[in-house]
Amino acid sequence: MAGAFWALAFIAPGLVAPFGPTDLTVARYAVFGLSSGVVLIALRRDQWLPTLRSHWLVILWLALTGNTIYYLCLSEALLRSGTLLPTMIIGTLPVVMAFLGGVRNGTFSLRRFVLPACLILGGILSHILHATWAEASEPVVGTSPAGLVLALLALASWAFYGLRNAEFLAQEKQTHIVAWTALSGVATLVTLVPVAALLPGGHPGLRHGSIGDAGPLLLWGTALGLLSSWAATWLWNIASRALPGEVLGYLIVSETVFAILYAFVLERRLPTTAEIASVVLLIGGVSLGIRAASRVSRLSTGAPRPAAGAP
């Protein structure tokens, strides 16, 4: 469900013209932060104030790495290298997260990891290359070294967020999930203004657009703020407390799958054979990875295996 909500962010930028991605991101994080403030007001103070006092630095770092720094690096990479290279690099996030999660949990096995990773990477690469060849709108690989570095920094930023957030929630069982999500939203709002000021190109949409054109921006900014940020973060936090990091890593690929499905709906068409193959590779890799990781998790905890024929 978190992946389904995150994937809305892939289609929204093309629906808010003449406003751009920067304007949409500012609107999204403003809604996320302001709604989080409302939630904190509605909650009892003892549900969030002790967490804020004890872990304010962790909250700030996770808001920066999971939202603001990640977007700043990614937007710069897209500006310098086009869409393909950053998309391919960020597309490896499920594999990177699964690898790091297994290493940090002490359950990593190269033999168990190789096949799911190859299937996921193959699915992502085949989909991106198919889309690029179909559009023929830009070179297959970007040429800017700075764009490459920034895309890698964006990848590292979110991977740090995903693993550190999961580890914190697994250790701090008393932390209220709704309160933790709201604190993340407020922390993101605190960093919104300086990060927005650093984004390249200023606010071209705000310069060339008019108040009368702002309806789609306000609609999608609100939708992304409440769904892609608030609901997705809340759901991801629930999953992060319940699942090991390796399984979480594999499940991130659901964002890519839903983004592909949304694109079919917007374009009002059925997928091509190559696109079906890409999705099958993605889902197959995730299924194999989760099955193997779950088996190792049961063995490491001493849980009994399911009986033959059990669901």
Whole-model pTM? 0.83
Which of 290, 286, 287 minimizes the C-alpha distance to 124? Answer: 286
- The pLDDT, as a whole number, for residue 260 is 85
- The pLDDT, as a whole number, for residue 289 is 87
pLDDT block averages, 10 residues each, the chain of length 311: 91 82 85 96 94 94 90 78 76 88 80 87 82 56 72 92 92 93 94 69 49 82 94 95 86 88 87 86 88 66 45 40
The one-letter amino acid at 218: L
The pair of three-digit structure tokens given for residue 81, joined into one six-digit string: 């290298």
DSSP string computed for the chain: -HHHHHTHHHHGGGGSTTS-HHHHHHHHHHHHHHHHHHHHHHS-GGGTHHHHHHHHHHHHHHHIIIIIHHHHHHHHHHHHHTTHHHHHHHTTHHHHHHHHHHHHHT---HHHHHHHHHHHHHHHHHHHHHHHHHH--S-SS---HHHHHHHHHHHHHHHHHHHHHHHHHHH-TTS-HHHHHHHHHHHHHHHHHHHHHHSTT--HHHHH--GGG-HHHHHHHHHIIIIIIIIHHHHHHHHHHHS-HHHHHHHTHHHHHHHHHHHHHHHT-PPPHHHHHHHHHHHHHHHHHHHHHHHHHHHHHTPPPPPTT--
CA–CA distance, 182 with 36 (Å, rounded to integer): 4
Question: CB of 90 within 8 A of CB of 123?
Answer: no
